[in-house]
Amino acid sequence: MSGAMIKMGIYGMVRVSFDLIGEVRWEWGIVVLIVGTASSLLGVLYALMQHDLKRLLAYHSIENIGIILMGLGMSMIFLGSGHRMLGTLGLVAALYHTINHALFKGLLFLGAGAVLYRTHERDLDHMGGLIHRMPVTAFLFLVGSVAISALPPFNGFVSEWLTFQTALQAPALENGLLRAMIPIAAALLALTGALAAACFVKAFGIAFLGKPRSRRAARAREVPVGMLGGMGLLAALCLLLGVFPTTVIEAMAPITQLLVHESLPSAAAQGWLWLTPISPEVASYSAPFVVAAIIVVHGLGYLFLRRRAIPALRAYPWDCGFGHLTSRMQYTSTAFSQPIRRVFGGVWKVEERIDTLAGGGPIPRVTSLHYDLHTQDWSWLKIYLPIGRLVLAAANRIGFIQTGNIHTYLKFSFATLLAFLWIVS
């Protein structure tokens, strides 16, 4: 669903706007850009409050569809304003992120499925320490986390970098409102990226690091090779699309040529080593150099530490005098996201309650403390639930036509046919 099905809406928008209608209007781009920016920011904020690993990933689909819409919206604005090359850049950024999302979100959902297969848990607060019991799954999930957080050298960085490069061309527009709106959207996209990175630090850290928080997590073991193979293939594709973006953009050239009668010849003008979406003078990015720099820095760091290594001293980690470390001393999912919840408190409907039980005596002592937190997103409460109630009410009202009598159904069909014939004639 996340990798392919939800992309059908994007496919429909692209075919209708760029192909069937043909003449793209910049006014459409404003609407798409606003909706995409709101979706990306709200999607990642809703994801940050989730304890269920699969629900967390599902909310990130809202965020990434919003990023795709931002690229499409800027493409429509530039095309409608007569800047075909810049409009093509926005379209390429949107299409590239569509492919990337299918890859890293598929990888992450397979990783969540592997965790569920071995632990029978979806709640992050019942996991922990899985990196010691499922090391390969943990590594592949980390690859997906880095990719979706738009960090180099993986594919998520390339498509978001192209989206930012499109936004940075806003001064070319003659309309002052558009020149002001696009940088604001780019700033909110940067905020979205930072929040996404924080969300996956939370997801990976609480699920795979630390100590197990449940017996099932403590007894987990690695999944079969067949499950690892699927995740490994997607992880390799995330790396390849991040290291060789010029090849992917060249493969997209027939698509953009068909839709907007334009391509990005400048993107691969410097060869496969450099990505130059506009021109080398404006901006360039070399993913192979980034990979080489990462390898060299880590290699030199390893050699330096090995040469200066001292004999290892085995000792228990510092426990503040409380005895051996336990899972109760670790951050929970709720505690990790608490600062962000305080800053963006109005985004959710937050129900927070603390129940304290104190013992008797002249100086009461707290004997038990219970903390309860429940968050709901306002869009679900204010939009989807009312629509659902209206649909159910309408279905109940028209339920009288389901009589089970074939003669009644034939009468309705005949009346409908007469109505259509009257309308057509």
In degrees and rounded to multiples of 5, residue 330 shows phi and psi of -90, 160
Q: Are residues 372 and 290 in the same domain?
A: no
The pTM of the full predicted model, rounded to 2 decimals, is: 0.86
Residue 305: per-residue pLDDT: 75
Burial of residue 373 (CB within 10 Å: 0-12, 13-18, 19+) is middle
- Tell me the C-alpha distance between 254 and 381, whole Å: 43
- The structural domain count of the chain equals 2
Q: Of 272, 296, 320, which marks where a domain is finished?
A: 296
The predicted pLDDT at position 309 comes to: 61
Instruction: Write the single-letter amino acid at 314.
Output: R
Same-domain pairing of 288 and 401 = no
Domain end position, chosen among 278, 296, 314: 296
Q: Is residue 311 part of a domain?
A: no
Asked, for residue 301, whether it belongs to a domain, the answer is no
Among 296, 313, 341, which residue terminates a domain? 296
Instruction: Say if residue 152 is in the same domain as residue 43.
Output: yes
| Residues 158, 77 share a domain | yes
Asked whether residue 343 is assigned to any structural domain, the reply reads no
Cα–Cα distance measured from residue 133 to residue 152, given in angstroms and rounded to the nearest whole number: 28
> Rounded to whole angstroms, how far apart are CA atoms 87 and 81?
9
Let me know if residue 126 belongs to a domain: yes
φ/ψ bin of 165: left (φ > 0), alpha (ψ from -120 to 50), beta (otherwise): alpha
The pLDDT value given to residue 39 = 93
Q: What is the pLDDT of residues 366-405, one digit of tens each?
A: 777 777 778 888 888 888 899 999 999 888 888 777 777 8
Decide if 313 is inside a domain. no
Residue 334 lies in a domain: no
228 and 362 fall within a common domain: no
Which pLDDT belongs to residue 317? 65
Predicted pLDDT of residue 154: 92
Query: Is residue 425 located within the same domain as residue 283?
Result: no
pLDDT at 141: 95
Does residue 76 sit in the same domain as residue 201?
yes
Domain that holds residue 368: 351-425
Q: Write out residues in the chain with pLDDT < 50, as ranges.
A: none
304 within domain boundaries: no
Q: Would you say residue 87 lies in a domain? A: yes
Say what the pLDDT of residue 312 is. 56
Q: What is the DSSP string of 385-396?
A: HHHHHHHHHHHH
Residues 369 and 265 in one domain: no
The pLDDT assigned to 322 comes to 67
Asked if 166 and 230 sit in the same domain, the reply is yes
> According to the model, what pLDDT value does residue 410 have?
86
R_g over Cα of the chain: 26
231 DSSP assignment:
H
Let me know whether 289 and 404 are in one domain.
no
The pLDDT value recorded for residue 139 is 95
Confidence (pLDDT) at 277: 85
What pLDDT sits at residue 310?
A: 58
Output helix, strand, coil percentages for the chain, rounded to the nearest 5: 70, 5, 25
- What is d(CA 173, CA 234) in angstroms, rounded to the nearest whole number? 39
Whether 368 and 228 share a structural domain:
no
Q: Are residues 280 and 415 in the same domain?
A: no
